Structure 1
């Protein structure tokens, strides 16, 4: 696998007795842009943007979720951290989402889709799986249209704020593929009304069956 060099931004914390994390990748806006210096210079600014977004009710983070850390690091062509030390910001007090703290299955998530100008194939779309809160749903089990509309606006503000971090060394949120080193800049966001299932979280749950003979 081969990657274009870039910056990886991740954030997360606790979710009841579990943990959660989200992330986006960012590409340099100019030839030769240095992701290592971007990561070192703008970690705290990125943490401010994430903290602000996390505490917006419109982003629908679960009220059980706590934001405790942010990482911003450069990624090499091998897809791994390119620097020997990790750029980590830890919050002095955990951020708290204002959304409902009613417990929902941990594999459920709101999905913010990151769209590009590419219609299909590698690096054409990315996703942020937001740990879900108990939201208003219609009788068909979907989010209300108003909930989806307000979340997509909040997500757009979040991505635009991330894109505005590096005034002297600008980077933008993008979708990357390790196959063919493909990359596409994110040009839009999309939020659906159907609550999704994050398979990684689902696989982490230990199944225990109840069974009876006929």
Structure 2
């Protein structure tokens, strides 16, 4: 049973660490096999905006980007990507960032220019097109819509949740739904369970006004 933490919080006040929650559920007979990060291994990658682009003085295929990541001063990043432009919102790996494939980012001198980070492709973030539109384009992944500068990439692409993988036993069929397992989680946490709000769906008239059925063979379809 996959239980996203954000979904759990819709029904229960979550007042402990994820690790403590695992322990509390275990004491109630529910083994949590894993706590899954939606973007495992990705750290210190934030939203940045390209404020200015200029040609690298010592390399024809490189560009120098002035990036605003929400700090007092912009940072300089050198890139070889050709799909970037001024005003674009991009994932920026800062000093110490961890990327897919156990890559760690540090400042580096690129042909005489100090680059303080790296602009990321979807692949370098471990993302596919199914995770975020445009993640598999050739070059830097361009973020869609509006995002606060300095926001974590996990929040920007909507993959900032934790997911509990809970193993259910056959005698607990009542927990084979999000509401069912959240009700049990509320008991484990000692919190009140918030019932989901069910809105009344008013009728839109007689169904016969929208569709009709004609029986062509009453022997094959007597009802």
Structure with greater Cα Rg: 2
TM-score normalised per structure 1: 0.20
Q: TM-score, normalised by structure 2?
A: 0.20
- Structure (1/2) with the larger strand percentage: 1
